[in-house]
Structure 1
Amino acid sequence: MNAPAHPAPLAPALAVLAAHGTSAVSDALDLIGQAGQIWGPRRVSGSGTVVGPVFTVAFEPAPEGRAAAADYIDEVPPGCVVLLAGNGPLCTVWGDILSEYARAHGVAGTVIDGLCRDVDRIRELSYSVWARGEFMRSGKNRVRMSATQVPVEVGGDALPTTVRPGDVVCADGSGVTVVPAGSVDDVAEQVSRIAAMEERVLAEVRAGSGLREARGKHGYNMAARVARSTVA
């Protein structure tokens, strides 16, 4: 098995997201009035928090049931998170060969607004993948790649979210969030503030305080109002 490429250090704002994970990022997005929680994909392999710029890949049903395999993985820069959208029919567009290549070339992880196969092998590789589920049916001649690095919509009707090149994905065991490119620093600042406040609440509780008292003392329930008043 090829060893993964050594990951480059994360930029400071991205390191903050990685340190605190999707729950804090989701709360921070709420505070600044931004959408970014991706409904559907759940972790199927890997561990820890994955953060990186998104590399979008759009799919569509194959015309007349014929389409070549999607060749894009060579173009994904190290440290990026691949996001596959618009899979169409019930089939997969990601498996073990792509995972082994991605891992060896320093790709941070893969998010699929659809299905994944070869999950046992991908888990052996310890490569991080999020998907709506597992299914072995190939996407060959069922879907085709229509574009890379274009805006894509994910989340379905339940919570439609547009992801654009330049946005930053943060994903862990709780799911997947995406931070708009122009909001990364603001979100990181809010994440740091939320994490510090929650640590103060926990410290009070560990010292014997009741949770209601600790939350009230440190403004747990007022945080959204305070943050929103500073935005715009």
Structure 2
Amino acid sequence: MSETLSVLAARSTSTISDALDIAGLAGAVFGLRRMSGSAVVVGPAFTVMFEPVAEGRPAAAADYIEDVPAGSVVVLANEGRAVTVWGDILTSVALANGIAGTVIDGYCRDVDGIRELGYSVWARDAFMRTGKNRVRMRAVQVPVVIGDEGVEVRPGDIVCADGNGVLRVPSAAADDIAAEVVRIGEMEERVLRDVRAGLSLRDARLAHGYNRAALRIAADAR
């Protein structure tokens, strides 16, 4: 698995998305954007599911962060609620524990401080209102659904995120997707090399099968 993670981390989410398309797998998480950090983040998902509580009912802050293995990506399923379930305290612990990054289907606060720390977070947006006494942790390490188009993330699925956004690679398909990512990436590099050497883009694409890959994506989409 470490080799697969290295392969995925070496390519952009654009290339990984193309590989998922060719395999006929959904994975792009629509509606989230990078809030902080600059790293390419790739790691197994550690999932946390939240649920609302009735008004006036106490609900403590979620305690799970010490259970997250180093190298994991924390995936917080808060169903887009405009209350925050991540801030600078959790970020400090995450950094100390070697957690790769955090993906939130919801909102994040303390963004200025998190940016100063250089930690990578993706969320719907920033907002200051706490989730304490508004939502509570329902479960950890269970399948969750995130994003506008409802992408399921299971514990151990590979989460890949960069400036383009967030996507999920199913753990069972990760090795095959990584192999396809290598093939696509090498083909695109050959196209770019030939264009820089003076060949037309049309001829470079034809020479290296660029459009054949696009046709495979279209055929699988049907």
Going from structure 1 to structure 2, the CA distance change for 1:89 and 1:24 (only over 3 Å counts) comes to closer
| 1:36 equivalent in alignment to 2:27 | yes
RMSD of Structure 2 on Structure 1 (CA): 1.7
Q: 1:100 aligns with which of 78, 81, 92?
A: 92
Query: How many residues are aligned here?
Result: 219
Q: TM-score, normalization: structure 2?
A: 0.94
CA distance in structure 2 between the partners assigned to 1:190 and 1:88 by the alignment = 32
Map 1:189-228 onto structure 2 (within 5 A): 189-225=179-215
| Match in the other structure for 2:43 | 52
Map 1:1-232 onto structure 2 (within 5 A): 11-65=2-56, 66-87=58-79, 89-156=81-148, 159-225=149-215
Structure 2 unaligned residues grouped into runs of 5+ = none
Q: Residues 37-64 of structure 1: CA distance to partner in whole angstroms, max 9, x if unpaired?
A: 1111111111121110000000111134
CA distance in structure 2 between the partners assigned to 1:67 and 1:226 by the alignment = 50
Kindly indicate whether the alpha-carbon contact (under 8 Å) linking 1:169 and 1:177 is maintained by their aligned counterparts in 2: yes
CA distance in structure 1 between the partners assigned to 2:177 and 2:215 by the alignment = 16
Structure 1 unaligned residues grouped into runs of 5+ = 1-9
Kindly indicate whether the alpha-carbon contact (under 8 Å) linking 2:7 and 2:182 is maintained by their aligned counterparts in 1: yes
Paired AA for residue 152 in structure 2: T
Kindly indicate whether the alpha-carbon contact (under 8 Å) linking 1:56 and 1:85 is maintained by their aligned counterparts in 2: yes
Kindly indicate whether the alpha-carbon contact (under 8 Å) linking 2:74 and 2:103 is maintained by their aligned counterparts in 1: yes
Paired AA for residue 43 in structure 1: R
Q: TM-score, normalization: structure 1?
A: 0.90
Q: How high is the sequence identity, in percent, across the aligned residues?
A: 62
Consecutive aligned runs of 4 or more in structure 1 exceeding 6 Å deviation: 227-230
Q: Residues 44-97 of structure 1: CA distance to partner in whole angstroms, max 9, x if unpaired?
A: 111121110000000111134421110010110101000001346421100000
Alpha-carbon offset, residue 114 of structure 1: 0.8
